[in-house]
Structure formats: C-alpha cells, structure tokens
C-alpha cells in the first residue's frame, strides 16, 4: 500500500508540474474552463453554491472524479477568490452547516479544500490549494462521519491519528507542509478523499465490527458534516 501511494503521489506531482509548465508557457491566462467560470461566477457578492449529492447521477460523475491542480495564475485570479468566498458561505450555511468542504462538492474539480481548524485558537476555517496527504500515522482510530454530499447518513470510519499535508502557498506559490492531529486530521482526510473521488462511505465498516457492542447509533451525537 505504501509503495502504491508513493507511485500515485509521484504521478500526480509530475502531472501537476506538467500542467504548470504548459499554462505558464501560454501567458498569464488562468486555466479555469468556461464551465468552471460560469459556475463560480464573477459576482464577488454571490453566496451559497449548490452542494452536489450522491442521489443525483450527474453529481456522482463529478464527485467520483480526480481533481486537477491550480496554476500560479489561477491562485492570483478573481475567480479563485470568489470560489473561496462562495465555498465558505456554503459550508457555513445555517440550514446545512459543516466543518469542511472540498471544491468537487460544489462542482469544481480542483484541488481545494476548506477545513475548520479546531486545533487553532478561534477555530477558523482555512483554505488549502493543491493539497495532498504526504504521510499518515500507522495508528488509527474509528470515528463517526457524515457528509454534506450524502444526506441523512453517518457511519464509522477508520482514520489515521495524525497526518502530514503539503499544499501551495497562495501568495508565494511555494510548497508548504503542516502536521495535523486529532479531529482536525480526520476532517483533512475526509476532504482530501473528495479530491481523489473517494467518499467516506467507501471506507466505512459496519457498526457491529467497528464499535463495541455497547455503542449504538442512538447514543452517539450527530456528527458534524464535511
């Protein structure tokens, strides 16, 4: 598994580099498609975006896709700024709030997630572009998860206790890394899965095998959705 992950990560890294070289060679134009541009919009005051759901066949096609990286010019564009603003409005929607969201969940197949940093003062939402999980702990724990894209469902998932992420700094376009643990690490793992077309339901195990017999759905609090 570790070897396959390294091969996959190397492939994606090469693909990212090739994309950046191609785009930079084409001038200052960003790489957003016409479809993405129309979906994001140019109105900086626009709010909530529609969350894609697994009970919609067209939505599933996007949710199951692998997301593309951003270029330097993408990160400098007004479209990127508006996308972040609208993703934040969506995850903070009081009618259906969450603790994290990935760009594919709003129809944009790009490597961008917003995560609520419960491990930081004030528990802010932060955005991470071109994010990858580079390393994960061998120690894992079961926990309850839900998803904005999978209504009225929750289940147990086995996740690493800590991870190391890499991402692109929006201002300098340099790679940065961070080590995250606890519940915040779970959110990161959930959201980066979305970028690979993976849903948390792909990783679930039955409650009977994942939890002690004394645990039950009725005694568990409703989890925050991601």
| CATH code for the domain of 60 | 3.90.45.10
The answer to whether residue 224 sits within a structural domain is no
Catalytic residue among 36, 73, 145, 191: 191
The answer to whether residue 27 sits within a structural domain is yes
Q: Provide the residue range defining the domain that includes 11.
A: 2-219
Whole-model pTM? 0.81
The rounded distance, in Å, linking the Cα atoms of 99 and 143 is 15
Q: How many domains does the chain have?
A: 1
Q: Please say if 191 is a catalytic residue.
A: yes
Determine whether 92 is exposed, middle or buried from the number of CB atoms within 10 Å of its CB (0-12, 13-18, 19+): middle
The answer to whether residue 7 sits within a structural domain is yes
Structure tokens at 173: 């376009």
The answer to whether residue 225 sits within a structural domain is no
The answer to whether residue 210 sits within a structural domain is yes
Per-residue pLDDT of the chain (226 residues; tens, 9 = 90+): 444 444 454 444 444 444 444 444 444 589 999 999 999 999 988 899 999 999 999 999 999 999 999 999 999 999 999 999 999 999 999 999 999 999 999 999 999 999 999 999 999 999 999 999 999 999 999 999 999 999 999 999 999 999 999 999 999 999 999 999 999 999 999 999 999 999 999 999 754 444 443 333 233 334 457 7
At residue 226's C-alpha, the angle toward residues 77 and 132, to 5°, is: 55
The answer to whether residue 226 sits within a structural domain is no
Taking the chain, what is the end-to-end CA distance rounded to the nearest angstrom? Answer: 26
């Amino acid at each position: 598994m570790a070897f396959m992950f390294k091969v996959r990560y190397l492939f994606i890294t090469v693909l990212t580099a090739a994309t950046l070289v191609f785009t930079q060679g084409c001038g200052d134009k960003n790489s957003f498609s016409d479809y993405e541009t129309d979906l994001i919009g140019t109105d900086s005051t626009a709010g909530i975006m529609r969350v894609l759901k697994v009970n919609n066949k067209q939505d599933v096609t996007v949710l199951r896709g692998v997301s593309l990286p951003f270029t330097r010019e993408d990160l400098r564009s007004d479209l990127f700024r508006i996308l972040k603003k609208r993703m934040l409005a969506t995850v903070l929607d009081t009618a259906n709030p969450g603790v994290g969201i990935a760009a594919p969940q709003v129809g944009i197949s790009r490597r961008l997630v917003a995560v609520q940093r419960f491990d930081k003062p004030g528990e802010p939402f932060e955005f991470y572009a071109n994010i990858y999980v580079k390393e994960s702990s061998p120690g894992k724990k079961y926990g309850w998860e839900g998803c904005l894209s999978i209504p009225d469902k929750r289940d147990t998932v086995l996740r690493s206790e800590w991870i190391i992420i890499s991402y692109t700094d929006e201002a300098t376009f340099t790679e940065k890394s961070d080590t995250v643990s606890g519940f915040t690490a779970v959110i990161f793992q959930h959201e980066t899965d979305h970028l690979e077309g993976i849903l948390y339901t792909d990783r679930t195990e039955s409650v009977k095998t994942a939890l002690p017999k004394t645990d039950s759905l009725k005694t568990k609090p409703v989890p925050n959705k991601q």
